[in-house]
Amino acid sequence: MTTQLETKYKVQSLERGLSILRALRVSNAPVRNQDLVNRTGLPKATVSRLLNTLTALECVRRIDQGSYVLDHASGRSGRAMIGSLRLQQYRKLFVGAPGPVYLEAVAGGQRVPVYRWSGSCGPLSNGCIAAIGPAEHRGADGGDYWDADTATWWSWMTFHLGGVGAFVLTVQVPQRTAPASEQLDGAHALLERAIAAMTLGEMQ
């Protein structure tokens, strides 16, 4: 229940602006103005004014015919939030993994490289996305893909961290032949253990 004191110190415009950002953050695709109206319950004129302000502040970006995604200013706060996850603590989970393991954040319908656990761990930039594997072959929820041309296969799973958003965890394995079923089972078990640990915020 909201107390009178809590209501007294609320800044309604800020609260409404944050509701727009939250609606965009949980979406895996660009969101239209009317969809934001439906998701936030705010009047259309209010949503339009907030979007204009957030666009000017580079917190959101307008694309195509009136759809919106989060922009880089919002991404800076997102990176700070991701930094608070202390991803380096999960390195032990991937000792003995058959290849490097990548973490991507899902934002605006795109996958943004965040972190890599391998011989050298650390944050990733957008320039690393090609190394993670072709996104068009990696479905929304999870699966496996073998590319004979590059002699590489990938296994990946999508999961959500409360209050942060959607992520994709991918293991990449260089191999000249298609993976055997026991290899896929091992990769899936590795990803499931890691996701369980991250979701619970526990260091294994």
* pLDDT averaged over 10-residue windows placed end to end, the chain, 204 residues: 44 77 76 90 91 84 80 58 72 89 76 77 51 62 87 90 78 91 94 89 51
Residue 1 lies in a domain: no
SS3 19: helix
On the 0-12 / 13-18 / 19+ scale of CB atoms within 10 A, 180 is exposed
- Residue 177 pLDDT: 92
Q: Are 135 and 111 in contact (CB under 8 A)?
A: yes
Q: Are 158 and 103 in contact (CB under 8 A)?
A: no
Measured over the CA atoms of residue 126, residue 131, residue 136 and residue 142, the dihedral's sign is negative
Neighbours of 36 (CB within 10 A): 23
Q: Tell me, yes or no, whether 70 and 90 share the same domain.
A: no
The amino acid occupying position 90 is Y
Q: Tell me, yes or no, whether 43 and 134 share the same domain.
A: no
DSSP tag of 162: T
Q: Tell me, yes or no, whether 195 and 120 share the same domain.
A: yes
- Paired tokens of 131: 């190394």
Which helix (H) or strand (E) element contains residue 196?
helix 181-200
- Residue 194 pLDDT: 92
- Residue 202 pLDDT: 53
Q: Residue 36's domain spans which residues?
A: 10-74
Domain boundary at 24, 54, 74, which? 74
- Residue 74 pLDDT: 58
